[in-house]
Amino acid sequence: MKVKHIGSYGQLTLFFKEGGKTFLLLYKSGNKNSDCALASLQDAAGGLEEGVNLLSADVNHVRDIHGRYGITSVPALLEFEGADFVKSVKGCQTAGYYQSFIHNTVYVSHNQEDRSKRRVLVYSTPTCPHCSSLKNYLRKNQIPFKDIDVSRDQKMAQELVRKSGQQGVPQTEIDGKIIVGFNKPRIDELLGLQS
């Protein structure tokens, strides 16, 4: 398997249409840490089976990806399930780490499969610190979710108010149940997480 280089967000979305898992390394060429991460990922790719999309994008040239996912430092390996951003791993990691990370997220345990079958939507804005905390918590617990930026999508903002009666963010919808704010005990309860 090889790491495919992409040059825009539009190219990334073409891989989303294939479905399944996509991993994207955002890096900055000429940066020691980034060059290390790219080399490690390329080494890791040699030991991976086909079945996932393994991509890279140099932020020196590609400027329309990292901002969409709140990535403020590179290198960062982003994981996607279909078009949904799941989580990221920052810094330079070893090839073995990347292989394990990719392998473990593609072949998840039964308990994690149950979690990933849940429909989780996060309604947020880029400037909301509690939104970032909530999304980081979900990523840390390997919960796939769809992030909806209500500051950019007026229709979804109206839909959110219709569902919950509230305008504030963050709000989380788990299998049709709305949670207003970062209510960790309620999120844990609905997702079956240990507090």
Domains in the chain (CATH in brackets) are: 4-107 (3.40.30.10), 111-191 (3.40.30.10)
pLDDT score for 97: 83
pLDDT score for 109: 37
Closest C-alpha among 137, 149, 26 to residue 79: 26
Angle at 188 between CA 186 and CA 189, to 5 degrees: 65
Average pLDDT taken over every residue of the chain: 87
pLDDT tens string 137-175: 888 888 888 889 999 889 999 999 999 999 999 999 998
Report the alpha-carbon distance of residue 195 to residue 184 in Å, rounded: 8
155 near 90, Cβ under 8 Å? Answer: no
Report the alpha-carbon distance of residue 63 to residue 3 in Å, rounded: 19
pLDDT score for 38: 96
Report the alpha-carbon distance of residue 34 to residue 37 in Å, rounded: 5
